[in-house]
Amino acid sequence: MTRIIVGVDGSGGAEVAVRWAARTAADRKWELHVVHGLRIAELGYSGGLVSAAGVFEAIRADGERIVADAVTLAQSTSDDLVVTSEMVIDHPVPLLTELSKTARMVVVGATGHTGLSRLLAGSTATGVATHAHCPVAVIRKADDAGEVPGDGPVVVGIDGSPTSEKALAEAFGEASSRGVPLVAVHAWTDATYDDFYGSARLMVSWESFEEEEERLLAQRLAGWREKFPDVEVRRVLVKDRPRHALLAAAEDARLVVVGSRGRGGFRGLLLGSTSLALVEHANCPVLVVRPEKQR
């Protein structure tokens, strides 16, 4: 059975992630697998690792409670949802990365118990989004007191890269399954005039660039619109940096889908600046899609 994996740590952010993952799995009749990693190696005293049996048992018992609470929360979403679970003595990032090899999606909260208030995305969220072998959904509440957005369209960033094509496929599927419109955002330049042309910028015909980018966007959407005729598509073409355009679109979205690294990324960067900015700052859940070769 196709399954979604959700990482839990007992935090409020993880609870939000569990509810989102459970609703998504139930709607698609997928299995939900709840995972908790015991960070034993990180809990040291006077420079040494935890070794006392009593301390370990307390940590293990707390982990079992966290998993049990998450399973109960997930099952309350749907009577038909199949929920499984596991608890492993491992750091969450390598644990979820390994499990992602056989998952359809990994879901994590934007912040957990280890996140500092000044950090909008915790180390687990960014680490899993960087290294996973399948799409990773980073779930953020609209505000400190609220839930994740329950309405609005699915937004996808398009730049013509292979990873962007995969993101587009995921976005159409998400919009179709949720019965909402798809907003396709293409920022047709990600640099300032000076960055590109310096003193020669006045000689550039920006209208010709815009026409070319409009053709690119139409071409990228054409085949998918035929495959998903039920999805209403809204095209947004802007002369702006991708991260700015997508963050603005995220304000009214229920989900933003983006490739982990676009055509402007460096080969050594597994999580590009645009996807990282969305994971850290978007006002809705972000689905980061990995390139095929990373699987």
- Per-residue pLDDT of 21-80, as tens digits, reads 999 999 999 999 999 998 766 555 444 454 566 777 888 899 999 999 999 999 999 989
User: Which two three-digit tokens encode residue 180?
Assistant: 């909402």
Q: From the CA atom positions of the chain, what is the Rg in Å?
A: 21
Q: Are residues 135 and 161 in the same domain?
A: no
Q: Are residues 21 and 76 in the same domain?
A: yes
Q: Are residues 226 and 269 in the same domain?
A: yes
Q: Are residues 135 and 158 in the same domain?
A: no
Of 139, 170, 185, the position where a domain reaches its end is: 139
Q: Are residues 101 and 42 in the same domain?
A: yes
Q: Are residues 15 and 112 in the same domain?
A: yes
Say which DSSP state 101 is in: G
Q: Give residue 112's identity as a one-letter amino acid code.
A: G
Say if 145 falls within a structural domain. no
Q: Are residues 214 and 92 in the same domain?
A: no
| The pLDDT of residue 233 | 94
Say if 220 falls within a structural domain. yes
Give mean pLDDT, residues 143-163. Answer: 80
**Over the stretch 79-136, which tens digit does the pLDDT of each residue have?**
899 999 999 988 899 999 999 999 999 999 987 554 433 333 457 888 899 889 999 9
- Domain residue limits at 106: 3-139
Say if 292 falls within a structural domain. no
Say if 146 falls within a structural domain. no
pLDDT averaged over the chain? 81
What distance in Å separates the CA atoms of residue 243 and residue 257, rounded to the nearest whole number?
12
Query: Token pair 């996808």 is at which residue?
Result: 156
**What is the number of structural domains in the chain?**
2
Pick the range with the lowest mean pLDDT from 63-72, 216-225, 264-273.
Answer: 264-273
Say if 267 falls within a structural domain. yes
Of 96, 115, 139, the position where a domain reaches its end is: 139
Question: Residue 79 maps to which CATH number?
Answer: 3.40.50.620
Q: What pLDDT band is residue 8 in, cutting at 50, 70 and 90? A: very high
Q: Are residues 181 and 129 in the same domain?
A: no
Q: What pLDDT band is residue 272 in, cutting at 50, 70 and 90? A: confident
Say if 144 falls within a structural domain. no
CB 260 within 8 A of CB 273: no
What phi, psi does 227 have (nearest 5°)?
A: -75, -30
| The pLDDT of residue 271 | 64
**Over the stretch 161-212, which tens digit does the pLDDT of each residue have?**
788 889 999 999 999 999 999 999 988 664 444 444 454 444 455 566 677 7
Question: Residue 211 maps to which CATH number?
Answer: 3.40.50.12370
DSSP codes of every residue in 51-117: --HHHHHHHHHHHHHHHHHHHHHHHTT-TT--EEEEEESS-HHHHHHHHGGG-SEEEEES--TT--T
Count the neighbouring beta carbons within 10 Å of the beta carbon of residue 51.
10
> Is residue 138 pLDDT above 60, yes or no?
yes
- Higher-pLDDT residue of 158 and 30 is 30
Q: Are residues 195 and 270 in the same domain?
A: yes
Of 139, 163, 190, the position where a domain reaches its end is: 139
3-state SS assignment for residue 23: helix
> Is residue 270 pLDDT above 90, yes or no?
no
- Higher-pLDDT residue of 268 and 78 is 78
| The pLDDT of residue 187 | 81
Q: Are residues 177 and 116 in the same domain?
A: no
Say if 251 falls within a structural domain. yes
